[in-house]
């Protein structure tokens, strides 16, 4: 996340992640995309906004790329990061 935030400060438009061969979230969007993001329904659609605009991406290790939706997911990620580093 630190790399994503740092890159967004440099680029100031859209910065997304890239893993498993495709762009993905998490992503950081500039204020100019606020209305488009608000119009999204559910958890789908950000990728369309990304692809239709200029973006920079941060490449992630595929083994660390997965959704964190629950406390168990967060615990699993923390364990993977500790094992790796």
Give the CATH number of the domain where residue 63 resides. 3.90.550.10
Give the model's pLDDT for residue 8: 76
Quote the number of domains for the chain.
1
Give the model's pLDDT for residue 82: 66
Give the model's pLDDT for residue 22: 92
CA 3 to chain centre: 11
Q: For the residues of 27-68, what is the DSSP string, one character each? A: EEE-GGGHHHHHT--TT--HHHHHHTS--EEEE--GGG----
Question: In which domain, by residue range, is 8 found?
Answer: 2-84
- Digit-coded pLDDT (tens) for 14-73: 999 999 999 988 899 988 899 999 998 877 789 999 999 999 998 988 876 777 778 888
pLDDT above 80: residue 75 = yes
Give the model's pLDDT for residue 84: 65
79 against 49, higher pLDDT: 49
Give the model's pLDDT for residue 15: 92
């Amino acid at each position: 996340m630190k790399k994503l935030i740092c890159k967004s400060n440099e680029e100031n438009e859209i910065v997304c992640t890239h893993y498993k061969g495709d762009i993905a979230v998490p992503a950081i969007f500039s204020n100019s995309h606020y209305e488009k993001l608000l119009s999204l329904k559910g958890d789908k659609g950000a990728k369309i906004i990304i692809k239709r605009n200029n973006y920079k991406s941060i490449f992630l290790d595929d083994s660390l790329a997965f959704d964190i939706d629950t406390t168990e997911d967060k615990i699993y990620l923390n364990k993977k990061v500790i094992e790796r580093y």
